[in-house]
Amino acid sequence: MNGNIAQLIEKYEERIIGQSFNLRLLLSAILVGGHVLLEGVPGTGKTQMVKTLASLVGGSFRRIQFTPDLLPSDITGSMIYDMKNSTFQTLKGPIFTNLLLADEINRTPAKTQAALLEAMEEKQVTIQGETYPLPEVFFVVATQNPLEFEGTYPLPEAQQDRFLFKLLIEFPSFEEELKVLKQVIHNKNDHCELTKVLDLQTFENIRAEIDTIIIGDSVLAYIMDIVRKTRQSDSIRFGASTRAGISIGRAGKAWAYLSGRDYVTPDDIKIVAKPSLRHRIQLSPHKELEGVTIDQTIDELVGSIPVPR
C-alpha cells in the first residue's frame, strides 16, 4: 500500500471517530473511480466525512446542497446571453470538479437527480446541446437520509446503479461518541488545519497500481455466482445487473490493495459484496412484511455459495 494512503487513513481517523471501516470502503471506491452513496440519519457526520476526505486529497472540491427547488441547470450549468458582446456564453456548474459532494441528494425531485446520470457514467455534461468533458479524476459522494424521513424522494433505480457502493452510517459506540463530544466541546479540532497528503498525480499512479492487482478466474466465477444468485433467490424481487459484478470485481481489487496484497481473495469479495449490492436489489414483498433486511438477505445469499479454494 502506498505510504500516502497510510498517512491519509491515519489523519482521517484522528478527525473522524468510529468510521474506520466505512472510510476504507470509501477509499476503495474512489481509488477505482467509483461513486459512493452514504445513508444515515441527520447528525451522524456524513457531510463531515466527505469534507475531511476532500481536505486530504488534492484536487478541486464542490458541495451542492440538494433542495426541492434545485434545478438541473444549477448542477450542470447553463447558457447565458452576454448583452455587451451580443453572444451566448456557457456558465459551467459546480459539477465541473474532482470531488463533488451531493448533500442530501434525495431531498430533490427525480428530474434534478437525473442531471447527475450522464456525468457519473460518461464523465461528460451536455449543456444546450454542447458536450463538455469532466476532469479525468471525478467522483461523486452523495449523502441521503433514510426514506422514512419527511421530504425525501427515492432515487431512481438507474441512478442508484451508478453508485459503486452504498454505505450505511450508523451511530457510533458510547466510547466513540463520547470522544467526539469531547473534541467538539473543547474545540480540539477547530485550530487544526488539515493538509493534503495526496495530489492528483499520485492519485492516478495509485489507480495504475490497482489495475495491476491480480484477480483469478476462480474469484471472477465466485463473483458471478453471487450476482446470478440474486436473480434466482425467492427473497429478492429484482436481482443485480452485470454492472454489479463489475463493481464487486473493481472494489475487490482496491480492497486487496489497501490490505497490502497484489491479488484478490474470496474474503475481499465477501467484504465488498454487501456495499456493492444493497442498493441494487429489491426484496420480495413477503420478505419485507417479515421484517427481513437487505443486508441480512445478502449475508445469507453469500454464505450459501461455496468459496473457491
The vertex-258 CA angle with 161 and 48, nearest 5°, equals: 65
Mean pLDDT, range 183-205, rounded to an integer: 76
Q: pLDDT tens-digit profile of 89-125? A: 888 999 999 999 999 898 888 888 888 888 898 899 9
Q: Are the CB atoms for 103 and 65 separated by under 8 Å?
A: yes
Which of 156, 95, 155 lies closest to 126 in space, CA to CA?
A: 95
Residue 57 in this model has a pLDDT that exceeds 70: yes
- For residue 162, what is its C-alpha cell? 451508478
DSSP 137-179: S-EEEEEE--TTSTT--PPPHHHHTTEEEEEE-PPPPHHHHHH
- Percent pLDDT > 70 in the chain is 96
> Which range has the worst mean pLDDT, 83-92, 250-259, 289-298?
83-92
**Model pLDDT, residue 185:** 83
- For residue 12, what is its C-alpha cell? 482521517
pLDDT-derived band at 148 (thresholds 50, 70, 90) equals: low
**Model pLDDT, residue 190:** 55
**Model pLDDT, residue 5:** 86
Report the predicted TM-score, pTM, of the whole model to 2 decimal places: 0.88
11: CB partners within 8 A, 6+ apart: 56, 194, 197
Q: Is the model more confident about 157 or about 151?
A: 157
Helix (H) or strand (E) holding 119: helix 117-122
Residue 287 in this model has a pLDDT that exceeds 80: yes
225: CB partners within 8 A, 6+ apart: 305
Mean pLDDT, range 207-226, rounded to an integer: 95
196: CB partners within 8 A, 6+ apart: 55, 56, 57, 58
> Which range has the worst mean pLDDT, 109-123, 201-215, 247-261?
109-123
Q: pLDDT tens-digit profile of 229-242? A: 999 999 898 899 99
DSSP 179-195: HHHHHHHTTTTTT----
**Model pLDDT, residue 228:** 95
- Where exactly are the structural domains of the chain? 3-200, 212-303
Sheet with 139-144: list strands edge to edge.
Answer: 61-65, 99-103, 139-144, 35-39, 163-168
Report the CATH fold assignment for 3-200.
Rossmann fold (3.40.50)
Which of 71, 158, 170 lies closest to 112 in space, CA to CA?
A: 71
Q: pLDDT tens-digit profile of 154-190? A: 788 888 889 999 999 888 888 888 888 887 787 766 5
DSSP state of 105: G
**Model pLDDT, residue 299:** 94
Mean pLDDT, range 26-53, rounded to an integer: 87
**Model pLDDT, residue 270:** 96
Mean pLDDT, range 37-49, rounded to an integer: 84
Q: How many helices (H) and strands (E) does the chain have?
A: 14, 11
Asked whether the CA dihedral 230, 232, 237, 238 is positive or negative, the reply is positive
Mean pLDDT of the chain: 88
| 297 CA to centre of own chain | 21
**Model pLDDT, residue 220:** 97
Residue 147 in this model has a pLDDT that exceeds 80: no
Superfamily covering domain 212-303 = Magnesium chelatase subunit I, C-Terminal domain (1.10.8.80)
Amino acid symbol at 228: R
- For residue 58, what is its C-alpha cell? 488534492
**Model pLDDT, residue 150:** 61
Mean pLDDT, range 4-26, rounded to an integer: 86
CB atoms within 10 A of CB 115: 19
> Which range has the worst mean pLDDT, 44-48, 284-288, 305-309?
44-48
- For residue 294, what is its C-alpha cell? 437487505
